[in-house]
Structures are given as structure tokens and as C-alpha cells.
Amino acid sequence: MKQTIPFLLALMALLSACGSAKNNARLTASLDSLLEANYRADAPGAALLIAVDGNIIYDRGIGVADMETGEKIDGNTNFNIASISKQFTVVGLLRLQERGLVNVDDPVAKYYPEYRGDIWKKVTLRHLMSHSSGVPDTRSRDDREWMLRATDDESMEYFHDLDSLKFEPGTDYDYINPTFQLIYGIIQKRGGMEFEQYQQQNVFEPAAMTNVRYFKADRHIPHMAHGYIVNDGSDSGENDNGTTKQRDVTTHDFVDGNGTHWAECDYGEETFFATRADGGIYTSTHDLLNWEMALRDNKVMKEESKKLAYKPHTQVSGSTWCTYQNRPYTHYGLGWFVDRTPGQREKIYHTGDNGGFQAYLAKWENGRVVVAMLENRNDHDRWAMQLEIERLLRAHGILR
């Protein structure tokens, strides 16, 4: 009898492993079908990674990272992740708070006494990072060349004379980018070094992110994807909220095997690509998994800081000021969206959009399940794609 028990346990483990392997094979086939129905091998495409308990269960690239060279997309391709970059900036600041050098409830005026408006005495760092500041984005749109090249420092210039808000801080949601340049400046003021150097030492290295880069016009980024839009002569398109954003058609025209024309659309073709704190990171799905595991294991910030960042601070649903991710049961924490749809596990996620890039990074149960999907084309309904991926994960028992 004593000899039988270990045998039965081993048999049960083997049967479970076989069942899991079959289930994963079916999931892989379903995900392959989904990607192949939406992307061509000779056109701009996507990288999709799914991990459970830190183990990759799906990892595929499909399409072309660079239409000029023909380099293919895989899990090491570096995409612009746009607004997902914001959470890295938040973590940089929260690490300063852990050292007692800043406080998220400090007023902006404490760090920028040169700003003349009284509004900065009531707008706090928490308001900035939770998109509840009421600060308007009044950067000039008259100079197209400036918009294409503007850096973090240049994007902050209008704050000096700003003297009014759209609403009382902390009372509503309005997603804007330049408030994260204020966090960039505070990190430099209190971190004692240049922003990128601080982020490298305090955020990227602890997370074992080896390929991450902030964009600079003269910087080489290995395995870099370019962003593309369909070059059909139109000047606008819908994003996944049903709102319209401007597209610039360029002279960089490429044709895939299906006869579709593609125009390169990133730095030099689309605006505000050169700002770092709000959207300047290039990285890969593999590096994003390292990031998520470092967050899970508290390697880049303490548990207390993580709870603060993931806590719903601002109700996104129903905002009259902004449509970005304005969906039912949605809140914004500090650098992350929080989806609390009834009957489903809480989802902590962020999206990113700029030029031809679309990005999505989500997790459930403190990183037990992670989905990272990066695209270098913007003609797909990203939200519908992610809902289908989630449906498949639930159908195959991955999401509980």
C-alpha cells in the first residue's frame, strides 16, 4: 500500500500535465487563428505574450517590424509603448517617496515656485499622476515642426503662465500627457541626476529590463519597430474609443503582398514622440514580462507603494471631460487603469497610442496572469482584440 500511494500521486500528476498540455495546445491554436485572421506576414503586425505564474504560455510575433528592411517581429522587437511609459515614471517618483524625498500629496508649487499661477498650490503630485488635476493641455498647435520635435522641457514651457484649471483638482478625470513632464522635472530635482540616468538605475535595472530605451532622435534602438498607418489618402481614423485622431500621410510608402499601402508614422511624422516621461519608451514583450515580475515580487517598489499605485484614485467612467478608456467600471490609479467589471477579476492595465503604434499591458491577481500585446499599426480595434483574448483565456481556464 505504501508503494501504491507514490505511484498514484505520480500518475495523477502525469495525467494533469497531459491535460494541461492539451489545453495549452488548444489555446495556442485559437490564439494563432486570431492573429492570423488579423495580420499578414508581410505587413506591419504585432507581438503577443501571455504568461501564467511567470511562465510564458504564448509568445508569438507576426508581421514586419520595419517595412524598409523587412525585419520580422518577434518577442524581442522593441515597439514604442506610448502611454504605458507613464507607469515607469510613476514608479520612479514613488521610489523617491519611499526615501522621504517627495510626497504624493505635496502641491506642485513646492517643486516649481517659479510658476506664477496660484493653481499650483492646490494641484498635488497625486492629482498629476491620476489624471485628476484639471490642468489643461494648452500647448500650441500652431507650429507643426515644434510639435514633431518637442522634448519634455519644451512641453513644460506653457506651465509658467498657466493660471486656470478645467475643474477643481481631484473632482474629475481628464487624461492629459504634459502633467507627466512635471513628474519628470521633480524626479530630476529630487533624484539628484538626469531623468534617464535615474530611471535606469532605480527602475529599469532592478526590473532586469535589458533592452528598454527612451527615444531620442539620434539614438540607435536595436530591433526597433517603426509605426505604420494605412496610406489610403485619409487624414484621420478611429481609435478604440470611437474617437477620431489625426493621421499624417507621409511619403514613406510601402506596399504589402495584398496591395495595401502603408505609410511610416512615428518620429518626424507624428507629434510629441520625443517626450519621454509620458510616452517615450521603446521596449519588447519579453522585457515587459520582466517588468511585471519585478512588480509582482516588489523588486522595483515596496508593497505599500504598489498598493497606492493600483488603488482607484479617479473614476474614469462617465467623465464629461475625456473619452480615453472611458468605459464602465473603470478607474485610474497612479499610472495604471483599474477595471472592476462585476463578476470578473480586477484587471490592472494600461494602453498606449501614438503614430502607428498601439500597445496594451494587463495583469490579473498581482501578475499571476499577464498579457502584453504591442502593434506597429493602428487600424485594429485593440479593445475588441483584447476582449477576445480574455474570452479565450477564460474558456481555457487561464483566467479564473
Give residue-wise pLDDT tens across range 295-331.
Answer: 999 999 999 999 999 999 999 999 999 999 999 999 9
**213 burial level (CB within 10 Å; 0-12, 13-18, 19+):** buried
pLDDT single digits (tens) 42-73: 999 999 999 999 999 999 999 999 999 999 99
CA of residue 271 relative to chain centroid, distance: 18
The C-alpha cell of 343 is what? 463578476
At 376, is the secondary structure helix, strand, or coil? Answer: coil
In 146-299, the DSSP E strands lie at 213-214, 228-230, 236-238, 244-246, 253-255, 261-264, 281-283
Q: What is the pLDDT of residue 240?
A: 45
Q: Can you tell me the distance from the alpha carbon of 91 to that of 151, in angstroms, rounded to the nearest whole number? A: 21
The C-alpha cell of 143 is what? 507650429
At 334, is the secondary structure helix, strand, or coil? Answer: coil
- The CATH number for 41-395, chosen from 3.30.1120.130, 3.40.710.10, 3.90.550.10, 3.50.50.60, is 3.40.710.10
Residues 6 or more apart whose CB falls under 8 angstroms from that of 206 comprise 294, 299, 300
Residues 6 or more apart whose CB falls under 8 angstroms from that of 121 comprise 107, 109
CA of residue 359 relative to chain centroid, distance: 6
Q: Cell match 502593434: residue?
A: 375
Phi-psi region of 343 (alpha: psi -120 to 50; beta: other; left: phi over 0): left
Q: What is the pLDDT of residue 237?
A: 47
Domain boundaries, the chain: 41-395
What is the reported pTM? 0.92
The C-alpha cell of 178 is what? 504634459
pLDDT along the chain (400 residues), means of 10: 57 49 86 98 98 98 98 98 98 98 98 96 98 95 90 95 97 97 98 98 98 94 97 58 48 90 94 95 98 98 98 98 97 98 97 97 97 97 97 95
Nearest Cα residue to 282 out of 199, 228, 211: 211
Nearest Cα residue to 334 out of 134, 159, 94, 103: 94
Q: What is the pLDDT of residue 24?
A: 85
